[in-house]
Amino acid sequence: MYRFSIWKIVLILGVFLFSVLYLIPTPDNFYNPLYGNLPLWMQEKLPLFEVTEDNALKVNLADVDYPEGINFQDATFELQDVFRVHLRKLELEETRDYEFDTTEAREFYVRLISEEARQNPRATLDNLHLYGSLPTVLRRLIPNNRLKLGLDLKGGVHLVLEVDLETSKAELLREHTLSIPERLRTDDILCREVKQIEGQDTLNVFVGIPSRLRTDADEKTKYLEKAQRLLNEIEFFEDAQIGAETETQTTYQLTLSERGIQNYSEQAIEQVLIVLRNRVDAFGVSEPSIRREANHPRIIVELPGAKDSSKPLQIVKTMGRLEFKLVEKSPTGGSLWSGTSDTPIPDSIPDDSEVRYHYETGNWYVIKSPVLLSGDRINDAGPSTGRTSFDIVVSMSFDSIGRRKFAQVTGDHIGEHLAILLDGRVQSAPVIQDQIIGNAIIQGNFTYEEASYLSNILKAGAFPVGVQIAEERTVGPTLGQESINDGVLAALIGLGGVLIFMMIYYRLSGIVAIIALVFNMFIILGALAGFGAALTLPGIAGLVLTIGMSVDANVLIFERIREELRTGKTVWSAITNGYQRAFITILDANLTTFFTALVLYHFGTGPIKGFAVTLGIGILASMFTAIIVTREIYGLTIGNRDVQKLSI
């Protein structure tokens, strides 16, 4: 006799609701009207856009309660980004079809220029779907994850990056050449110089002995023991060894250890991953995949939907290392030692100086080597206007240590030129007029897009080591669409063949299996959307395979039920025994396949992982639908009825 199990019904409905909720946002026709394209805070705080008499789109930002850290200018820049993206989808281009404008009354305008754009501004505004119809409370509860398409289906850019471990070792030595003196001085140890031994992974640390300690043997010993103890605490190096000793100075040698190099390289790769993710997120690249290749210093970057590799390559190639250095004074008496690209570079420059070039003009500057302040002290950066609204600059704010250092640098060097370098190229070299306590700006005849790009690079941080592009591949959206069409066709043919077979061979029971199969598809696609996984072409292959495996479980159950019916059992007794006796076989077959999927996912890359993810989710879903869902369908339809014959 069938016993109604409320927990099973709740479980089935819960899984179905989960799958549907995660699939609803996937089609643009659902997502855009429900969630809107403006950021959530704008939808909550901004008044509605309106169409003016001269066919412009306008919103008043005067009385807006901005979130912390956002002002009027930030809001206008963010609005411009949203309009650029979604007007481009309507085939409208900036400057040709529209332009942005703001007024002193803090009104933001999108002025439509071309005849095509001005024909129906109300329809244009509606098609942008700036505001979602879903209430805010529900929007926070209902997930807005969307089923992602992989690179092979959507098209895009595939990059393989190699981290240069040799440069990571050189960078590690360079970092400690600069940091060790400051570290020792904070503990009252006089560090005169740190120099790398040429051709070796060893640093000579020259520790001076103060004159007051030279005649006191005990105090001198304590002083030198303290210096050696501090040096031994430095990560990545072997314990310090004493080299040359004189009355006024002791030289310690620090050598990189093999484990230290390995640990630093691991940290460097993880930091590169973090910086890459920050940069890609800042540039609004949708559905990126950035992962490390197992057991190799390589990083795989996949950017579905990217039409060309120029922008991703620029993001990857830019180290993002910002430095503030002083410009040498000209030996002829000028305040700036520089020259145009046509002027010969001087043969002799000071040992502690170097020649650097302007990023745009190619003019050269003689720059002092010491870094006075670096970009790791930047707290925030963004495009802003300079003296005029047409003068776009990059404004930077520092953390507390950075503000103090910048104030000290500008205060100590009034009248000198301070060069701002990005990846070794001079962005600007303004003269310091007065001490600056607060923010800094970078000038450079930027467009808004260039200033935004530089700001995002600075906020995301610099790569700690060099990164080289080992492989670059662009997949066209046409090829991706063909893959989708072929994959969907294969899935439909497979599904159709299974449906026909099940209905002919198992009759009404075959329809029960078909219902479970459709439910299975919902669960797999909903899980892929919910977990943020991407559906790839191998994933579609896994989906097709899952269709067969799902039906295979039903076939085992149905054949067991048939055997029970042949022995003269009642219908419900045959169904119960059929499920019980087929369960172990189904569990054994599916678990072995699931473990195979886990191995493929752990050791595989790219396409293999896509196949493994879909296969693994499909196995769990097929067991759930075949064992639980179909049995409850039988129970609800014939469990407590006096049925003499089962259509199977």
- Taking the C-alpha atoms of residue 555 and residue 522, their distance in angstroms, rounded to an integer, is 21
Question: Tokens 């449906």 appear where?
Answer: 499
In eight-state DSSP terms, residue 160 is E
Model confidence pLDDT, tens digit, residues 379-427? 888 887 766 656 788 888 888 888 888 899 899 989 888 998 888 888 8
3-class secondary-structure state, position 483: helix
Strands 56-60 and 107-112: antiparallel
Q: Which phi and psi (to 5°) does residue 293 adopt?
A: -80, 130
Q: Which phi and psi (to 5°) does residue 150 adopt?
A: -70, 175
Task: Yes or no: say if 94 and 84 are a contact pair by the CB < 8 Å rule.
Answer: yes
Dihedral sign from CA coordinates of 325, 329, 334, 335: positive
3-class secondary-structure state, position 619: helix
Question: Looking at residue 287, what is its pLDDT?
Answer: 62
Per the confidence metrics, is the pTM higher than 0.75?
Answer: no
In eight-state DSSP terms, residue 134 is S
Helices (H) and strands (E) counted in the chain, each on its own, are 19, 24
Query: In the sheet where 353-357 sits, what is the strand order?
Result: 338-339, 364-368, 353-357
How far lies 252's CA from each of 204, 209, 239, in Å? 6, 13, 10
Would you call 14 exposed, middle or buried from its count of C-beta atoms within 10 A (0-12, 13-18, 19+)? Answer: exposed
Determine what percent of the chain falls in helix, strand and coil, rounding each to the nearest 5: 50, 20, 30
HSE of 260, CA atoms in CB hemisphere, 13 A: 18
Task: Yes or no: say if 457 and 318 are a contact pair by the CB < 8 Å rule.
Answer: yes
Task: Yes or no: say if 318 and 293 are a contact pair by the CB < 8 Å rule.
Answer: no
Question: Tokens 């942005």 appear where?
Answer: 100
Question: Looking at residue 63, what is its pLDDT?
Answer: 85
- Taking the C-alpha atoms of residue 172 and residue 155, their distance in angstroms, rounded to an integer, is 38
What is the SS3 assignment for 14-62?
HHHHHHHHHHCCCCHHHHHHHHCCCCHHHHHHCCCCEECCCCEEEEECC
**CA angle, residues 366, 166, 279, in degrees to nearest 5:** 75
How far lies 345's CA from each of 59, 357, 364, 429, 495, in Å? 54, 11, 8, 18, 73
Q: Which phi and psi (to 5°) does residue 446 adopt?
A: -80, 150
- Taking the C-alpha atoms of residue 591 and residue 635, their distance in angstroms, rounded to an integer, is 26
Question: Tokens 């705080």 appear where?
Answer: 45
Task: Yes or no: say if 489 and 496 are a contact pair by the CB < 8 Å rule.
Answer: no
- Taking the C-alpha atoms of residue 142 and residue 144, their distance in angstroms, rounded to an integer, is 7
Residue type, 447: T
Task: Yes or no: say if 630 and 554 are a contact pair by the CB < 8 Å rule.
Answer: yes
Give the total residue count for the chain: 648
Per-10-residue mean pLDDT for the chain, 648 residues long? 77 86 74 82 89 89 84 82 84 85 87 85 88 76 70 78 77 83 87 88 91 86 91 89 88 89 82 82 68 79 70 74 87 72 77 85 87 83 70 83 88 89 87 83 76 81 80 70 74 82 87 88 85 76 79 88 87 87 88 89 74 86 89 81 78
Strands 148-149 and 440-446: unpaired
Q: Which tokens is 443 given?
A: 């000038």
Q: Which residues contact 308 (CB under 8 A, 6 or more apart)?
A: 157, 474
3-class secondary-structure state, position 299: strand
- Taking the C-alpha atoms of residue 543 and residue 535, their distance in angstroms, rounded to an integer, is 10
Picking from 553, 525, 526, the residue whose alpha carbon sits closest to that of residue 631 is 553
Which parts of 375-435 are beta strand (E)? 378-385, 392-398, 418-422, 425-428
Model confidence pLDDT, tens digit, residues 353-375? 888 988 888 888 999 888 888 88
Question: Tokens 């400690």 appear where?
Answer: 176
